[in-house]
Amino acid sequence: MKKGIKKVAMWLILLIIFIMVISAISGNMYKKMSYSELLTNIQNEKVESIQIGDDNKTASVKLKDDDVEKTVTIPSI
């Protein structure tokens, strides 16, 4: 009987870890924006603010209708 409980506990722990990993991955997807999306949002006047990173390779973008700050990778010219 103890082996059955240990097996169930192990599967529950694995399920919890799996859910946490999926949650972390999907959470990061909502924080990224492509450069073309940024240009479209600028043209449609949906951008509230843009801050260029110190490395000049990334930007933090705040949209008017979104509370989440997005990260954009700026292509090299």
Picking from 26, 34, 29, 41, the residue whose alpha carbon sits closest to that of residue 59 is 34
Residues 37, 74, single domain; the answer is yes
For residue 2, the model assigns a pLDDT of 75
Tens-digit pLDDT profile for residues 19-70: 888 877 665 556 888 999 999 999 999 999 999 989 889 999 999 988 888 9
- Sign of torsion, CA 22 25 28 34? negative
Residues 39, 26, single domain; the answer is no
The DSSP line for 35-70 is HHHHHHHHHTT-EEEEEE-TTSSEEEEEETT-SSPE
What is the reported pTM?
Answer: 0.59
Residues 14, 1, single domain; the answer is yes
Instruction: Count up the domains in the chain and report the number.
Output: 2
Beta carbons within 8 Å of 15's beta carbon, 6+ residues apart: none
